[in-house]
Amino acid sequence: MAEKSGDKPVDEFDGQVLKVRNLLIEFLNKVADYQDTRKQYDFGISKLKALTAFKDDREYTMTELSRNAYVSMPTMTDMVDSLVEEGIAERRRDEQDRRVVKVTLTEKGKKMRKVFMERRRQEVEDVFGKLSFKDRKDLSDAMDMACTILRKIRLID
């Protein structure tokens, strides 16, 4: 796609995307390190992403989890395999349709998710609570706009 007059060069845009990515990774790592949570549970970014795909205390299909985590089905399958191996999640076949696999968190998984989600909420409050109302609103609006644009080019659902 050709650059238009007044557009930022692609390299500059790429740099901005990398900055945002690095800030988000730094944020997630900070959340995961709270009170040695990472040592206690061996949290990694992939595991955290998988845990956050469980929005409520219920069973999910693999399709729902991959959609919630914004990852492909094969990636979600690997993530769930890891959770199952570690006793964090359980799989079972749907009784009405044996092709459908349902996944739920075990008690250990629920505890891990609760610890992480509480820490993430606290971290969000600590970080973004320092901003003025206007800055929080501007940032929220900018993130909404970024999501809208990325949906147009089908980078996110």
The pLDDT tens digits for 34-92 are 545 555 556 677 777 888 899 888 999 999 999 998 888 999 999 999 999 999 999 99
Token output for 70 = 């914004």
State how many domains the chain has.
1
Do the domain assignments include residue 2?
A: no
Do the domain assignments include residue 34?
A: yes
Residue 137 belongs to domain with CATH number: 1.10.10.10
Residue type, 60: Y
Do the domain assignments include residue 4?
A: no
For 51, the domain range is 10-152
Do the domain assignments include residue 96?
A: yes
Do the domain assignments include residue 35?
A: yes
CB 49 within 8 A of CB 69: yes
pLDDT at 90: 96
Strand, coil or helix: 51: helix
